[in-house]
A and B are shown apart, each in its own frame.
Chain A
């Protein structure tokens, strides 16, 4: 028995090393004082963190990324919450099909999806690049919104909504006064997950960016093609921290949802 536990422990450790090792290496190299990205670092310096803010492209594309992710999030919520509600609340013909369609952006390889979107939105319909980028991001966020909101609706007792209706609330009022407040934490978690998905996205964005319009991950990709200094490690660390904080929030919210409903 002991040996088995030992083996399992060793295995878990290796998995952790495998998963976290690269992150730790990036973390370490971001403090390299020299001009070449290397591990282990030869000292400690924050110069590359300062450097981030001197690269005009990073600042500009960071703003674009934030704008696209937030705006896209809002649209994805407007589409996704009603969709999740309809899918959980009612049963109708073709419900499974619809469910599949809403989840398909996760299943279709991003490269294919991105190409198709570019082909139609930009080439055929001549939409501005920025609009195309926004639509692309709404598409990839939607599945996450629908899934997370639907899962929090599955814990919701719809008799509560019926109670509101019976007390004189119309359908809309019942939804906003009773359903929405009780799936709030699910919606916030959905927003955070979708935000991360959009903010870190490369495969869709790469088709919808060009002169003047770019997102931060694309800008970073371009940067490493031409530079080999630790700036990229420093900015990666900042993004990791941001992602970590948001994951923590999601965990707290989804965890808390167990206590808020009854």
Chain B
């Protein structure tokens, strides 16, 4: 059985629904991310699990016990806040020791445990500093140490890296994953950054408007988004509405206008008859000239409208009979605006979504 279970949890402020009938399971030792745009309910979910707010409906079970109404201070969850929320009036040592003092540990034990955890986050020797004397990255480490030292049953991260600059962010990301795996601690991680979530998670739940749209391994979501929302959120910029589909030998043939396309099945989607195709700009292949002879499956002629340079590749907006498509292509010599080109849709890259 899962360590953490949210069952049919609903939250509303007045007439505004924040969470609708939410169900979520987290296995022991896993790192699960809640990913979504602001307002999708991910932070509400985290605050609910933390105990800062109550669900109006549904239950929250943890390790077989009902935690729905259990007060925050009786949950033994470690929380790392977006603002770090260090105690400004206390030194690093006292910040980290706070939870242990609340648990009435002996001073000698507190000293050993604080020392040990500060080593884990590479902050040995910073005991006497105050939060305002630390850099953003160091404050972050203190916040993590403070949450970890109480040996929490669950670790919660609320957008922990959003106040750090890009360089520190990728370093901290690795650090968080390392610590989490080293200690084998069950973790819930909230972020709006897909790269961040994908890189550190065992599983990712993509949320939208108070619902989980898809929950799966990062690799699966990346390749097979279940819904149009998820696809859009993780970088599928191109969508095609197909008129009909036929399936044989695991290959799906689709028609849009007078064009035929092929796609392999999407194991992520719940609706086997989905008629919307999605493809990433990186996966579209652009070739020069419009094709001669009969139309081939998976190709679509068009005209380059805009050409922009991305550094590693060029990005084109190509106008076609099925609307505009965005394609990225690495090449020596770019296509120019107004040039006739053909777009190729590789069957294994064209994903059908709800």
Residues of A within 8 A of B (CB): 157, 159-160, 162-170, 173-174, 177-178, 181-182, 260-262
**Complex-state Cα separation, A78 to B75, whole angstroms:** 31
Contact A167 B98 (CB under 8 A): yes
Contact B89 A162 (CB under 8 A): no
Contact B103 A166 (CB under 8 A): no
**Complex-state Cα separation, A163 to B52, whole angstroms:** 10
Contact A160 B73 (CB under 8 A): no
A162-B52, A262-B132 known; A181-B73 Cβ under 8 A: no
Say how far B104's CB is from chain A's closest CB, in angstroms. Answer: 10
Contact B73 A166 (CB under 8 A): yes
Contact B89 A164 (CB under 8 A): no
**Complex-state Cα separation, A163 to B145, whole angstroms:** 13
Contact B83 A159 (CB under 8 A): yes
Contact A157 B83 (CB under 8 A): yes
User: Which residue in chain A gives the minimum CB-CB distance to B78?
Assistant: A166
> A163, A174, A260: which has the most chain B beta carbons within 10 Å?
A163
| Residues 100-127 of B at the A interface (beta carbon under 8 Å) | 102-103
Contact B88 A167 (CB under 8 A): no
Say how far A39's CB is from chain B's closest CB, in angstroms. Answer: 51
B221 within 8 A of A: no
A166-B77, A167-B102, A169-B73 known; A182-B89 Cβ under 8 A: yes
For B81, give its contact among A162, A177, A182, A261 (CB under 8 Å): A162
Report 10 cross-chain contacts, Cβ distance below 8 Å, ordered by A residue. A162-B50, A163-B79, A166-B50, A166-B73, A166-B79, A168-B150, A169-B102, A182-B87, A182-B88, A262-B88
Contact B150 A167 (CB under 8 A): yes
Say how far A91's CB is from chain B's closest CB, in angstroms. Answer: 10
A170-B73, A260-B88 known; A164-B98 Cβ under 8 A: yes
B146 within 8 A of A: yes
A169-B102, A170-B73 known; A162-B79 Cβ under 8 A: yes
Contact A159 B132 (CB under 8 A): no
For A165, give its contact among B72, B86, B89, B131 (CB under 8 Å): B72
**Complex-state Cα separation, A166 to B77, whole angstroms:** 6
Contact B132 A160 (CB under 8 A): no
Contact B150 A163 (CB under 8 A): no
A165-B72, A168-B76 known; A157-B85 Cβ under 8 A: yes
User: Which residue in chain B gives the minimum CB-CB distance to A259?
Assistant: B132
Contact A167 B83 (CB under 8 A): no
Contact A160 B50 (CB under 8 A): no
Say how far B120's CB is from chain A's closest CB, in angstroms. Answer: 17
| Residues 56-86 of B at the A interface (beta carbon under 8 Å) | 72-73, 75-79, 81-83, 85-86
Interchain residue pairs A-B with the least CB separation, the first 10:
A167-B99, A168-B102, A159-B85, A163-B85, A165-B72, A166-B79, A181-B89, A159-B81, A160-B85, A168-B73
- Digit string of B29-68 for contact with A (CB within 8 Å is 1, else 0)? 0000000000000000000001110000000000000000
Known: A167-B146, A182-B89. 10 other contacts (CB 8 A): A159-B83, A163-B85, A164-B98, A165-B72, A167-B98, A168-B103, A170-B73, A178-B87, A181-B89, A262-B88
Say how far B345's CB is from chain A's closest CB, in angstroms. Answer: 47
Say how far B108's CB is from chain A's closest CB, in angstroms. Answer: 19
**Complex-state Cα separation, A159 to B336, whole angstroms:** 53
Say how far B85's CB is from chain A's closest CB, in angstroms. Answer: 4
Chain A contacts for B77, CB-based, 8 A: 166
Chain B contacts for A262, CB-based, 8 A: 88, 131-132
User: Which residue in chain B gives the minimum CB-CB distance to A156?
Assistant: B88
**Complex-state Cα separation, A169 to B75, whole angstroms:** 11
Say how far A261's CB is from chain B's closest CB, in angstroms. Answer: 6
A165-B72, A169-B73, A169-B102 known; A261-B88 Cβ under 8 A: yes
**Complex-state Cα separation, A216 to B16, whole angstroms:** 57
Chain A contacts for B78, CB-based, 8 A: 166
Chain A contacts for B150, CB-based, 8 A: 167-168
**Complex-state Cα separation, A165 to B86, whole angstroms:** 13
Contact A162 B102 (CB under 8 A): no
User: Which residue in chain B gives the minimum CB-CB distance to A184?
Assistant: B89
> B51, B78, B81, B87: which has the most chain A beta carbons within 10 Å?
B87
**Complex-state Cα separation, A260 to B86, whole angstroms:** 13
Contact A165 B85 (CB under 8 A): no
Say how far B194's CB is from chain A's closest CB, in angstroms. Answer: 25
User: Which residue in chain B gives the minimum CB-CB distance to A165?
Assistant: B72
A157-B83, A168-B102, A178-B87 known; A163-B72 Cβ under 8 A: no
Say how far B248's CB is from chain A's closest CB, in angstroms. Answer: 56
Say how far A259's CB is from chain B's closest CB, in angstroms. Answer: 8
**Complex-state Cα separation, A163 to B144, whole angstroms:** 11
Contact B102 A173 (CB under 8 A): yes
